[in-house]
Every structure is written in C-alpha cells, then in structure tokens.
Amino acid sequence: MRSVGWREFVITRLIRAAGYSSILFVGMIFIFLLREGAPAVVEIPFDTLFSERWYPIEDYFGILPLIGGSILVTIGAAVVAVPIGLATAIFIAEVAPRWLREILKPFVELLGGLPSVLLGFLGILVMAPLIRTTLNIPTGLTAFTGSLLLGGIAIPTIVSVAEDALDAVPRTYRDAALAMGATEWQTIWRVTLPAARSGVLTAIMLGIGRALGETMTVMMVTGNAPVLPLSPMALFEPARTMTATIAAEMGEVANGSVHYHSLFLIGIVLFLISLVINLAAASVVFRQRKRAERVLS
C-alpha cells in the first residue's frame, strides 16, 4: 500500500505541474520577447520608430507602415471571412440535415489544417496572375490577394467556434419560438443567433486574431512593400504586414543588432495585440458560463 501512495503522490505532482505549465510558457514567451526586444526602444529614437519609413539598412525603423499593412490586410480578410464564416456556421448548425453536417464539419476542419505555405504557394502561382489580369493591375501580389487568402484561413476558426456557440443554445429556445408560430428562419435570426451572440462575437474575434497572426501566406502573396496605406486603393497595391517583416528579415540580421532588436519589438507588439484579443475572447467565454450557471440554478 505504501508504494501505491508514493507513486500516487509523484504522479499527482507531475500532472499538476503539467497543468500549470501553460502559465509558465506564456510568461516565458513574454519575458524572452522583452529580453530581446526591449533594447530597441532605447536604441531607436522615438520619432524614427513612429515614422512612415521602414528601411533598416539605412537605419529607418518606422513601424507605422507595417502596422498599417497588417490592419489593411486583416480588415480585408475580416470583410471576406466574417459574413461567409457566419453564414456557413448557421447553415451547418441550423439548416443542414444531420448527414450533411457530418460531411461539412470535417471538410471545414480540413481547410483549417491546410498548411499556410501551401495556400501561399497556390496564391503565387494561380491567384496572383488571375487577379492581375482580371483587375488589370501591374502586379497580382497585393494586399487584396493576401486578404482573400487570409479570409479563407480565418473562415474555419469562425465556423467552428460560431457553430459550437449556436449548438449550445438550448433546444427549448427554438421549440418555444416555433410553437409561437415563428418560421425556422425567424427563429434563427430573432432567437438562436441573439442567444448565441457572445459565442459568435468570440468566433469573430478569434478569426480576426488568426488573420492578423498569419505569416507565410501574407509574406508570399502581398508583395512585401512597406508602404503606409493611406487610401482604400492601397488594397490593390503591394503591402507588408508585421508578421511578414519578422519572417522575411530575421534570417538576415546579425544577432544583437538594432535591426534584430527591432524585429523582436514588432514581435512584442504582435504578442500584446493577440493578448488583448484573446483576453477579451476569454472574458466573454467566462461571462457566458457564469450567466448559464445562474440561469440553471
């Protein structure tokens, strides 16, 4: 009996350690980004950092065009992915018969699993030429191309999270609406969707977070020109995101140089943005759970 107790003790400790490891990792990621990125704040003058020019070879470290590029491409992706993703989620959760659901769900999961480098590759070879000829612009490698592909990448996230949220709405809500004489269509819009709104909101936020953090696809298809987008027409010109800048330039910099530190600084910005998005998503999830508990008790 003693050996059982001893083993139980060790294993319980190990499992607890594994459980807490996630906190450790988030902390370590932040610490190591800070360790390598913080010197940039001292090394780069403030007005250089917030200028419109990113050209590290001549010591121009303006991160505004990169932030602008990320925002431009992400908004484009959201415009594509949010309506399509939500419509697909509603169709799968509320309209499609069971057998179709069983086919569609793994299919969406498959899209989520396609490597982003593969989509970038097809973007270069198939989509960019198509966009160049149909829109009659000098190059097909534009923010627009990136937005379309990023939209495709964000869709599975939006679909699966929103579909879960719709699925979690109690059957009785729908039954009550239908019994009052509402059509299924009305039930979806006036009962089910409002009841699932916090989950749907989470889905949209996580989808946007996914698009913002995507690296390989945008690096391959957006043309990589660090220009501050000032008009909507910038969508049809080359752009460059924060993620793509890190991926493209980190391989060529000397460890410990100003350029190296500045790339980690961009990493910190990305980390903080994703932290805000995910904390917001998490708070929605927890609030919803609390409300559900209140309703049930």
Positions in 224-283 near other proteins (CB under 8 A):
243, 246-247, 250-251, 255, 263-264, 267, 270-271, 274-275, 277-279, 281-282
For residues 123 and 29, what is the distance between their CA atoms, to the nearest angstrom? 31
Whole-number CA gyration radius for the chain: 23
Site for other proteins in 27-56 (CB under 8 A): 28-29, 32-33, 35-36
For residue 220, state whether it binds other proteins (rule: CB under 8 A): yes
* CB distance 281 to 79 below 8 Å: no
For residue 88, the minimal CB distance to other proteins (Å) is 5
Please report, as a single letter, which amino acid is at residue 176.
A
Q: Which residues from 82-101 bind other proteins, rule CB under 8 A?
A: 83-85, 87-88, 90-92, 95-96
- Sole binder of other proteins in the list 61, 69, 116, 150 (CB under 8 A): 116
Query: Which one among 71, 111, 178, 258 touches other proteins, defined by CB under 8 A?
Result: 111
Distance CA 10, CA 4 (A): 10
Q: Is 134 in the site for other proteins (CB under 8 A)?
A: no
- Number of residues written out for the chain: 297
> Is 25 an interacting residue with respect to other proteins (CB under 8 A)?
yes
For residue 214, state whether it binds other proteins (rule: CB under 8 A). yes
Q: Which of 3, 19, 136, 233 binds other proteins (CB under 8 A)?
A: 19
By the rule CB under 8 A, 192 interacts with other proteins: no
- b (16+ CB within 10 A) / e for 245-265: bbbebeeeeeeeebbbbbbbb
Taking CB under 8 A as the binding criterion, the range among 49-57, 124-132, 167-175, 190-198 that sits at the site for other proteins is: 124-132
Task: Please give the helix or strand (H or E) that residue 75 lies within, else none.
Answer: helix 64-90
**What's the rounded Cα separation, in Å, for the pair 144 and 135?**
11
Please give the single-letter amino acid code of residue 233. Answer: M
Q: How far is the CB of 223 from other proteins (least distance, A)?
A: 12
Quick count: other Cβ atoms within 10 Å of Cβ 196?
25
